[in-house]
Amino acid sequence: MATRGRVKQALAAANGRLSIQASAVLLSSATLTSSLLGFYRDRLLNSMYLEKYPIGLSAYTVAFTIPDFMYFLLVSGALSVSFIPVFNQRLASGNKESAWRLSSSLINFMALVTMVASILIIIFAEPLVHHVVAPGLDESGRALAVSLMRVIAVNPFLFAIATVIASMQQAVGRFVFYAMAPMIYNIGIIIGALFFTDGITLFGWRVFDGGIMGVALGVVLGSIMQLIVSAWGLRGLGFDYEFKIRWKHKGFRQVLRLLPARSLDQGLDYINSLVEIRLASYMLDGTIRAYQQALTISLLPVNLIGVSIANAYFPKMTVTVAEGDRSKLIHDLRSVIRMIVWIILPIATVTFFGRGYLANFLDRQGNIMIANVIGALVVSIVFRTVYHILARVFYANQDTKTPLYVSIFSIGFNIVLALLFTMYFHFGVFGLAWAQSIMALVEVTILVAILTRRIKGLFDLSFLRGVLIMLGASGVMALVTYVCVRIFPLLNGDESIWTTFPKFALVALISGAAYVLISKLFKIEESAPVIRRIGKILYGRVGVKHD
């Protein structure tokens, strides 16, 4: 009984409402943990298939494209930014019954739509792979991709339900189970790679032969586990689910009005990925996988910093906008954007100089293609990270159309650049990466220009001066990082992660410490809390007073 009581207390604590700072730290930590699991997953798959069966990994990567596209088009971030403002309006007015009816209707609606999408993917997987996604793969690669896609097709349905449930928790400041879900998903894939690839035998009957299809079963297992964990987070919320779609509910209809623009925005972004995969399918074997892994590494700091902080701050932003407190919105936005910029600049710098270590984490033999693509994507890391907080300013004002129009232009521009760089200038996979970086810069520049006109005084001279000083500090730090990489170089025998990681950790630690000290010398205010926290760690536990 005592143990059960402690478990209940732990669950209650996990389901408690968190502050913005605590939420951001939790989401960043969870993203980092999930990404580390992703590194292990990719390293595991590379060691199993990259040398012996590279076309299998390419087929596995291709198999995700259409299911992921349907998820991003119909659900993903589109749902949270459309749903949370409307959901919070009802909670703020004390109308919980309306909030639960909105949530139930949305769960049922999304489940219905994505179930139809999953069935269509299963039916049309072959023409989609052969003629749309990867016509450049050989016949065996395309056949394998079709089989894998039909297994993974269940993902949009499972993810949709989990996303609505997670958005409800995010809206009320509950982030623990919301943060755990992606980690659980990766664990499911790892289980598939470790235990399903050798086949499955039940009661003496061989029910599954294994191979890379076992990894696809792990994907489905991870999706189911993620849904269960997300649902567990509803405990204590008082959610009253009903198996019904209330088509005339004002909140539900309002979400549906907001949803298409953001959904199209997400879908267009993924269309860009489909174009890139199609172009990469005509390149050398393994190019698709290498590009996707480099892109995944570049998105790690974006998700770790940009998405985590933006998600943590977004519910508060919607409340501030609803209250009409313009001065508070400007003050808070400046602080959040400055903090994001201050954090992401040194991370991007270390990523550029340490790209060889990062590629080694994924492939123990090292992969020069992955490393060089990461280097070309560094510019996109900075601007994609900033993009998420800027876009949410529009979403908080229930304006999903402006980011859509900007995305239509930016993605079209990116596709033109990708075609130009790969087919005319013959830059190969690096042309795709440079197109991404240029597009990210252009997209953020346009959003900043629009916000400057709409919110007078947001980006004043003091803000711009602060950003320029941060750029100067990161430039000085770059020299330190370069010297560290030369002191702790990768050697031919550094195949194990245990020999590579300590070197990378030293480079990152020394560079980070140098950046904080340089920021203090440059009087960048964002460094003060970090220095105070370091002081507490160094002096607080031994009772030494730190001035």
Q: What is the pLDDT of residue 535?
A: 67
Do 296 and 266 have their domain in common?
no
Two tokens at 158?
């499972």
Residue 278 in domain = no
pLDDT at 34 over 70: yes
Q: What is the pLDDT of residue 79?
A: 65
Could you give the angle at which helices 20-45 and 308-323 cross, rounded to 10 degrees?
Answer: 150
Residue 275 in domain = no
Q: For the chain, first and last CA: distance in Å?
A: 48
Do 92 and 227 have their domain in common?
yes
Residues in CB range of 27: below 8 A, 6 or more apart: 175, 179, 307, 308, 309, 311, 312
- Rounded CA gap, 277 and 289, in Å? 9
What is the band of 492 on the pLDDT scale with cuts at 50, 70, 90?
Answer: confident
Do 133 and 23 have their domain in common?
yes
- Rounded CA gap, 241 and 228, in Å? 16
Q: Could you report the per-residue pLDDT of 212-266, keeping only the tens digit for each? A: 888 999 999 999 999 998 888 887 778 888 999 999 899 889 888 877 776 776 6
Q: What is the pLDDT of residue 69?
A: 84
Residues 507, 484 contacting (CB under 8 angstroms) = yes
Q: What is the pLDDT of residue 339?
A: 93
What is the band of 177 on the pLDDT scale with cuts at 50, 70, 90?
Answer: confident
What are the backbone angles phi and psi of residue 365, rounded to the nearest 5°? -85, -5
- Rounded CA gap, 246 and 399, in Å? 24
Q: Could you report the per-residue pLDDT of 373-396, keeping only the tens digit for each? A: 999 999 999 999 999 999 999 988
Q: What's the half-sphere exposure (Cβ side, CA atoms, 13 Å) at 104?
A: 17
Which position has the higher pLDDT, 311 or 505?
505
Do 216 and 68 have their domain in common?
yes
What is the band of 156 on the pLDDT scale with cuts at 50, 70, 90?
Answer: very high
Do 258 and 288 have their domain in common?
no
Do 170 and 313 have their domain in common?
no
Do 397 and 266 have their domain in common?
no
Q: Could you report the per-residue pLDDT of 305-344, keeping only the tens digit for each? A: 998 888 888 878 888 887 888 899 999 999 999 999 999 9
What is the band of 425 on the pLDDT scale with cuts at 50, 70, 90?
Answer: very high
Residues 224, 188 contacting (CB under 8 angstroms) = yes
Domains in the chain, number: 2
Residue 145 in domain = yes
* Per-position b or e across 283-322, b if 16+ CB within 10 A of its CB: beebbbbbbbbbbbbbbbbbbbbbbbbbbbbbbbbbebbe
Residue 382 in domain = yes
* Residue 208 bridge partners (DSSP): 200
Q: Could you report the per-residue pLDDT of 507-519, keeping only the tens digit for each? A: 999 999 999 999 9
Residues 231, 165 contacting (CB under 8 angstroms) = yes
Residues 308, 27 contacting (CB under 8 angstroms) = yes
pLDDT at 542 over 60: no
Residue 439 in domain = yes
Do 297 and 239 have their domain in common?
no
Do 416 and 369 have their domain in common?
yes
What's the pTM?
Answer: 0.73
Q: Which of 249, 270, 291 delimits the end of a domain?
A: 270
Residues 123, 135 contacting (CB under 8 angstroms) = no
Q: What is the pLDDT of residue 137?
A: 83
As a whole number, mean pLDDT of residues 112-127 equals: 95
Do 194 and 94 have their domain in common?
yes
Q: Could you report the per-residue pLDDT of 180-197, keeping only the tens digit for each? A: 888 899 999 999 999 888
Residues in CB range of 513: below 8 A, 6 or more apart: none
- Least confident range from 203-217, 291-305, 306-320: namely 203-217
Note down the domain range covering 185. Answer: 1-270
Which position has the higher pLDDT, 49 or 221?
221
Residue 276 in domain = no
Q: What is the pLDDT of residue 21?
A: 67
Do 265 and 341 have their domain in common?
no
Residues 499, 485 contacting (CB under 8 angstroms) = no
Residue 476 in domain = yes
Q: Which helix (H) or strand (E) holds 319?
A: helix 308-323
Do 292 and 266 have their domain in common?
no
